[in-house]
Every structure is written in structure tokens, then in C-alpha cells.
Structure 1
Amino acid sequence: MIPNWLIQRAHLTPDKKALSFNGETWTFEQLKDQAMTLARKLKANELNEGERVALLGFSNAEMVLIIHACMLAGLEIVMLNSRLTPKELDWQLDDSDAVAVIVADELQHLISNSSTRQLPFSTIRQSDEQSFQIQEIWDSNRTITIMYTSGTTGFPKGVRQTVGNHVSSALASVLNLGLSDDDVWLCFMPLFHISGYSILARSVLYGVEVKLYDKFDAVAAAEEIRTGSVTYMSAVSLMLEKTLHELEKDAAVAHPSFKAILAGGGPVPVGYLERANERKMPVLQTYGMTETSSQTATLSAEDAIRKMGSAGKPLFFNQIKIKNSQKSGEIGEVLLRGPHITPGYIGRFQKTNPFEEGWFPTGDLGYLDAEGYLFIVDRRSDLIISGGENIYPAEIENVLAGHPSVREVGVCGKEDAKWGTVPVAFVVISDDVTAAQLTDYCAERLARYKVPKKIYFVESLPRNGANKLVRRQLREWTEAQQ
């Protein structure tokens, strides 16, 4: 049994700062009071404990309050990605069987054709209030959030995340990172994504402030880190590189009070880590997914340089092994086990067992070194087999990202009559550079069969709502080039 997060936190540290956004701040007591008012308004709109609602909004203070209100009201929350198309959103609403969708007024056009009951934020604000008995103790098995996987292959899955999943994830993280009274977490990650929501969960469990932005701003990130107004930030590789670029403009370094950027969403190029080291900005690679309620493994600060490129060891409650691996260094599918892993799915996949003999198969390829540190190689579905040789796109991306003229890079396979499949690269550049120069750069650092057979220059790369590269769309681009 676990205490109601916000009720307990407001009781313990009512006057501690909980949230800041656009110059406004809220203490935990203020957050609780405003969320409780909204929870009573949700009750007045006939939303009852145990029911499932969908939530579609922006990453702002109002969204934070609505999220907490839903939790206080005992609702399961389907977190919808505001960057999806109306067709994708309609599919998820239908699959989730939500009784209503709570939606920011500005986003109503995205679900105008949905048959699901719509409850705009403005309607909630103007509603009457209905009192109810607050649940001060939560069952750890209660599903609290549902997030759909990105759906890069096949249909997206609605992943259940329980109170216990989120608490286990938060506790394992703090045992690794430590905790200080003055910690402030900089949040640019979308709240509908596990990386954004988990920051809110950690905030109330730890009693730390979240400094929230509605979208990523590299200039603001660099300034927050340089001045020491925050201690942690979560990011994906693209956000890390853009922040580094801003710091490098003025040869600025991170403030001594800044502790780390937690970098997830895929392997971070070693070149980025080396640049971050020059800016005195610790970067801790993490490994996790929607099904694991954020982190499964994180590289500790003391190992950041010695094990550069690793996602670290499993956090305290978790276990990792490599399928069919007999010795260290062998690449295989990464398998996970621990209390942070989803108990299952909803909708179309509700009867799908996420486990194989007690272990969760991730679909990711990686290996454990002799000391038990995890290295992620790539997604199994993204593996390129060329002339019988295995090629991992992330390895090529890692090399190209080290070129000073390359800002972003994405690699995928392209059909080839001779080799079956060959690697091609899409790059966003910051300076004048030719495809031939980049090819030569790769040839000096990669085996011949790994060198991209074609390099395309593009203005931007396809990314999902969490800024992760959508390699499926790269493959569609290659088909259009044929």
C-alpha cells in the first residue's frame, strides 16, 4: 500500500516549491489545493473513480494540474501524444475504450471526428464542484497511467503503468543519483511521454521542484545549466547536441551545482559525450522504455568517463541479461526483469503476455561487458544485414555525429540488388561539407561494408513526440529516392 502521492507530499513539505512555469511558481500545498479543486470539478462531470479517461494537452502548468487532478480523482489516464494525426489519435481513443477525453481547447480540432465524449479544459474550469472521499492510500497494483508505444512497426500498444511501477522506478533512480534539498529538475520532455511524466512522479515522491518548459529551448537550457538554476535535466541526443552547441558559442561550462543530464531515447554518440566533458557537464546515459516506466539502467557519475558509451548497470531493483549469451561481449536481445515493468497492455493487445519465462524481451540489441555494464547496439528491427554481415545503424550514426560539420544523422537500410541491403545516411549539416568528404571520414573509421553507400543532405530528420528518431520514415524516404 502506497500513500496518495500529492496528499502525502503536501503534508510533509507544504511550503516547498513544487513547480515553476513561465515565471509562476507553486508550492506543494498550492499544487494540491488547485488539483483538488479540479478533481471535484471532474467529479461534477460524472467521471468516477476507476474509470479510464484520455488526456490531450500541452506541456504546461495547466496540464500538470489536470494530471494531478485525475490521479486524485482515482482515474486511469491515457496520455495522448499531441503531435499525432487525427487518424492516429482516433485509433488510440477507440482502442483505449476511454469514457472521455479531457482536451486542451486549442487541440479539439485533432479529435473533432472522434465518437469519444470530449471534455475541454475550459468546460472543466467553469464547472461546479462535487465533493468526494479522497483515497489516501493507493494499491500498488492500480493502473495509474497508460501510454501508447510509438508504433514504429505495426500497431501501437497501450502500456499499463501501475503505482508500483512508477514508485519502483523513482526509488531505483534516487538510489543511484542521490537526493539534495536544493535539487531542481529541468523538464523539456513532453508530459505525455514517460520521460516527462516520470519527472512529475519523482517531484512529488522526492519533494523536489520541476522547472517546466512547454517545448525545448536550447538557449534556455544552456542558460539554466550555466547559471546553476537547475541540477538535473532529461534529454535525448538531439537536445543534448543543441544545448552543447549553445554552450560552445561562448565557451561556457556548466555551473558547479549542476549535477547531470540524463540522456535516453537511444545510444548517445561518443563525440557528444566528449564535448559535454569539455563543458564540464556530466552526461549519464540511461536505458529504459515505456514498458519500464522510465529507467532500467543508468551509468553512474563516477563511471561516466571510464565506461563512456555504456548505459550503465541495472538500477537496484532491476535485472538485465542478454538472450542466449554465453559470455560477456556477445550481442543479443536485451531481456529485463524488475518491479518497474508493466503488467501488460490494454485494448488490442490486452491478452498479450509481455513476458517470456519471467523476462521482458525489449527488442533491443546489446551486450554486457566483463563488469556487467550494458551497451545498447541498436533496435533489433533496425538491424541491417548486408551480404550476410550485421550492420548496426547506431554505430554509423555514432561515427558521422563525430564530424564537426554534422549536426544530426540518421541511418537506415536500403534494398540493393547485389548485397540485399546497404546502409544509407541522412544528415543535417552546420557547415559546408560534401558527401564525398563524409564518405571518406567514415571509410577511415568503419569497415568498408559499413560505410554508407549514399549520403543525403536534409533540413531535418523525422522525429516523434519525444524527439526520438523515426527510422521507419527514413526507410520510406529511401524508397522515394529509388
Structure 2
Amino acid sequence: MVMNMPNWLKQRAFLTPDRSALVFNERKWTFSQLFDETCRTADRLYSAGIQKGDYCGVLAANQPETVFTIYALQQIGATAVMLNSRLTTDEIAWQLHDAKAVYLLYDQEHTEKAQLIPSIQSLFITGIETVSTAAEVRHTFSLEETCSIMYTSGTTGRPKGVIQTYGNHYTSAVASALNLGLHSDDTWLCAVPLFHISGYSILMKSVLYGMEVHLMEKFNSKRVNQLLKSGDATMVSVVTAMLSGMLNELEGDYSSRLRCMLLGGGPAPVSILEACKAKRIPVFQTYGMTETASQIVTLAPEDSLGKLGSAGKPLFPCAVKIDGADEGEILVSGPNVTPGYLNRPDVNKQAFQDGWFRTGDIGRLDEDGFLYVLDRRSDLIISGGENIYPAEIESVLTGHPAILEAGVTGVPNDQWGSVPAAFYVNKQPVSEEELIDFCREKLARYKVPAYFVKVDALPRNAANKLLRRELAKQWSEQDED
């Protein structure tokens, strides 16, 4: 049976027209105004030839016009293919071709890149040309219908287009609310990219909850701290690198109105979690991915201190299990899990088994059922037959007072097959001998990095996630020299 729901933004504008919906710098829009701007954008897209069922690439920064465009595609019934702006033109062209996109929608910042992509119609999203035909705004959404496509980072070959249905986004938003609760005066600070599931999901929560979004064009730790100290935001999504920068800049305390700092993007170092605990910052670790339309496991508030380092338990309509007796691959299921990858039946057959999705991540469940994410399966270091998880070593290293951030990868070794190499950014001078002694106090000998490499910055993607494969690449290039 196909389940339909009222058009989300249209319904929200009807229910709470005068409630604040979007804040960007000094500009504000109510839900009624947001719907009006969205409809004008939908008219432009429809007049340009975009129709229901079309796939459209969106290459744009965190700007209000990007928000209008995302919602406008939903009004028409077109699917947004959200494009990572850090990709090369060749990579973007490949994703557009793979998705069979009919249009590329871009903003001022990405004009040059968009115009270098051949064989696709392009449209500037902030144009003011005359509209010849008004779009017919849809009355309902089908929960089985594809809403958005986001491509994985391609760590194991070509990127895969993750299908995200309206039902996936709806369930994700509801599951989050059941865990974190809803307050009538909530404002979610969005300093993560809208093309990433962490940013896109905040927009979906906004219209479903009737919640204000404070949009930032780019992450700035000082500005984020100002907003959290002033009480202008009550919720914020961050990854470890963002939180680390915020803590280094923070003077004083955040406002008591801050009730949730949602921390995703991989296991967080215990040293950072302890620093937040000392400052009474309400950090809730999460585990999720593009394939689960954001979080699928989150640490409930009452367990945030007692289970330090855990990602928590599955959100209410979801389930998690481990493929193994003790630790192994994390498997998930639930209505927020993608129905599959676009045009990849071979991959879908491997990824989905008996109603469970194989995440490719390694984890364990404790005796109370709390999930601890150990690492990406692809990042696992096997040294002399022993499994070594880079995140564990990184957590230890960032506990050293001289280390700002660290990344660990496996490098070839004739005797052991592979050994860990640590790349680090320091806050103050520190010797390799000191780091070795520090690690030996806290890690088994085989886990102590064989090499320490000082760098100015660690490689990260647009969502600030550490790219360990780039560390391995840097090592191989250094080794060749």
C-alpha cells in the first residue's frame, strides 16, 4: 500500500505560517515566507523544463537560495542529486551521468566549475528571468518516492548513489525527536554542508517539526561559539574536528539553552568527550551514515555520561546487531535505511541480506546493548595477525596535551605486513620519544605507532571527516621520494 502525506512545507506554512523558519546572517523568513520563496523558485525551475520524476544536480553552498531550491524540487516532484562542491569537474560529471540527471543547478560560487561540465543543461539558481509557466505545487508526497540522491565518498571504488526516500527522511526526523525531544523554541544551528546528509536532514526536521534553522555559510568556530553562548541556538550538529576547534576557542560557558550537541562523523576521542563533560556541554554521540538518512544510533541523554565513548542504542524504530561473537561488522535495519544504491543491483545484493544492511563498519555491543563503533572496516590495520583500530590510537594521541589532532593509517612492513603510522598536528613542540612513551603507557605494544609524522593539517572531506586513505597516499608518496 502506498502511503501519502500532505506536502511537508505547504502543510507547515499552513499550520504555523508566522513561526520563524530560516535565519541567515541578518535575514529571516517565516514558514509562510519560506513557502512563497520556494514556490517562486519552483516556477523558475518548471519554466526551465524541470518536471516531476527528473533528476537534478544541485551544486551550491549553504545559502538561502540553496534551501529554496531543495524545497522547490520537492514541490515539483523532481529528485535532488546533492553534489559535493569539493569534487573535481570530472567527478561531478561522472555522478550526473550515473544519475541520468537532466539539469545541473548551481550558484554564483560554483559558476566556473558548472560551466566546465559538458553535456548537461545548467541553470543559475538565483536568476530573475521571467517565468512563463507556474509550477503546480503538489498536494501530497508518497513515502516510497525518491526524494534525494547522495553519493558515497568512493573509498572502495566508484562512488555509489544512495537513494533516500521521503519515508527515509520522515522516519529519521521522527526517530530523532523521539530520542532528543521537541521544544517549541528550538533552533538548530546548521554549520555543516547542505549537500551532506547531516545538513540536508536538518532542513527535513525543520519543516516536520516547525523548527527554526540558523544557517551558516561555512563553519567558523568563533562564530558558532558566539551563537551557542548567546542562546541563539539550542541544537547543533558537529563532527570531532569542529568540536575540537570550538573547545580550543571557547572562553567561558555555553548558554543553558543549549540542550543538544549532536556529535557524528566517527568515534570521538575520549579526551574530547571528557573535556565536554567537565564543561557540562550536552554532547550526544551518534552513529549514522548517508545510507540511514542521518543518525540511526544515538546516546540517550540519561546515558551520556555513564557510557562515555559509546554511540548509544538504536533509535526507536531501528535495530542494530554485530556480525560476529564479540566484535565485527555492524548491521542495521529500520525504515530510515535506504532501499538501495542507484543503478547498482550487484552492490545491493551484497549490502542487503535478510532485511539487514551491512554498513562496512566494525563495532561491538556491550552487555547492556550499547554500540561502540571501533572503525571503518576498510581502515582496519592487520599487523602480524592482530587487528588494530586507528580510532583507538587517535583517541590516545589526542589525549596528549601537545596534540591538537591525529590520524592513523596502516603502512606496509616486511615483518608484520602492516604497522600503524601516526600523522599529527601539534599545539606545542613534542618529541617522537615522548609520544612513543605516552602511547606505550596506554596501548598494547603492537598498537604503538611505528612512525610519527608531523603535518600542518589532516586531510578531511567536506563534512570534516578524516580521510585516512589520503594519509596512506601521503605515506606512499613520501616513501617513493
Q: Which TM-score tier does this pair reach, normalised by the shorter chain?
A: over 0.9
Distance 1:306 1:352 in 2: 37
TM-superposed deviation, 1:15: 0.4
Per-residue CA distance 1:262-307 (angstroms, 9 max, x = gap)? 0001001111011111222111000000000001010011111100
1:341 aligns with 2:337: yes
The one of 199, 211, 235 aligned to 2:202: 199
1:404 aligns with 2:408: no
Distance 1:129 1:406 in 2: 59
Per-residue CA distance 1:351-386 (angstroms, 9 max, x = gap)? 733411210000000011111100000011111010
1:310 aligns with 2:306: no
Distance 2:424 2:187 in 1: 35
1:367 aligns with 2:364: yes
TM-superposed deviation, 1:113: 3.3
Identity percentage of aligned residues: 49
Counterpart of 1:115 in structure 2 is 119
Counterpart of 1:432 in structure 2 is 429
CA contact (8 A) 1:95 1:348 kept: no
Counterpart of 1:58 in structure 2 is 61
Give the partner amino acid of 2:339: P
Counterpart of 2:414 in structure 1 is 417
The one of 436, 441, 445 aligned to 2:438: 441
Distance 1:300 1:403 in 2: 29
Counterpart of 1:24 in structure 2 is 27
Report the RMSD for the aligned CA atoms in angstroms: 1.2
Distance 1:467 1:114 in 2: 29
Distance 1:214 1:129 in 2: 32
Where does 1:171-320 land on structure 2 (aligned, <5 Å)? 171-247=174-250, 250=251, 252-320=252-320
Q: Tell me the TM-score normalised to structure 2 length.
A: 0.97
TM-superposed deviation, 1:11: 0.5
Deviates more, 1:20-29 or 1:224-233: 224-233
Distance 2:283 2:446 in 1: 31
CA contact (8 A) 1:157 1:349 kept: no
TM-superposed deviation, 1:135: 1.4
Give the partner amino acid of 1:277: K
Give the partner amino acid of 2:125: F
Counterpart of 2:48 in structure 1 is 45
Give the partner amino acid of 2:70: I
The one of 156, 174, 179 aligned to 1:153: 156
CA contact (8 A) 2:265 2:287 kept: yes
1:7 aligns with 2:10: yes
CA contact (8 A) 2:66 2:125 kept: no
Give the partner amino acid of 1:393: P
Deviates more, 1:32-41 or 1:352-361: 352-361
Counterpart of 1:377 in structure 2 is 374
1:458 aligns with 2:458: no
Q: 1:108 to 1:349 in 2, by over 3 A?
A: farther
Per-residue CA distance 1:183-239 (angstroms, 9 max, x = gap)? 000110100000000000001100111101011100011111222111110000000
Q: Tell me the TM-score normalised to structure 1 length.
A: 0.96
CA contact (8 A) 1:2 1:139 kept: yes
Distance 1:107 1:133 in 2: 29
TM-superposed deviation, 1:95: 0.9
Counterpart of 1:477 in structure 2 is 474
Q: 1:351 to 1:478 in 2, by over 3 A?
A: closer
How many pairs are equivalent? 474
CA contact (8 A) 2:61 2:109 kept: no
Q: Secondary structure at the match of 2:268?
A: coil
TM-superposed deviation, 1:108: 2.5
Give the partner amino acid of 1:84: L
Per-residue CA distance 1:52-90 (angstroms, 9 max, x = gap)? 111100011111111111111111010001111111111
Counterpart of 1:392 in structure 2 is 389
Distance 2:244 2:347 in 1: 41
Distance 2:297 2:15 in 1: 30
CA contact (8 A) 1:158 1:349 kept: no
Q: Secondary structure at the match of 1:444?
A: helix
Deviates more, 1:20-29 or 1:113-122: 113-122
**Unpaired stretches in structure 1, ≥5 consecutive residues:** none
TM-superposed deviation, 1:347: 3.6
Distance 1:131 1:317 in 2: 39
Q: 1:6 to 1:234 in 2, by over 3 A?
A: same
Per-residue CA distance 1:431-452 (angstroms, 9 max, x = gap)? 1112221111111110111000
Deviates more, 1:293-302 or 1:224-233: 224-233
Distance 1:351 1:336 in 2: 16
**Unpaired stretches in structure 2, ≥5 consecutive residues:** none
CA contact (8 A) 1:439 1:452 kept: yes
TM-superposed deviation, 1:2: 1.6
TM-superposed deviation, 1:350: 7.8
Distance 1:462 1:387 in 2: 28
The one of 168, 173, 180 aligned to 2:171: 168
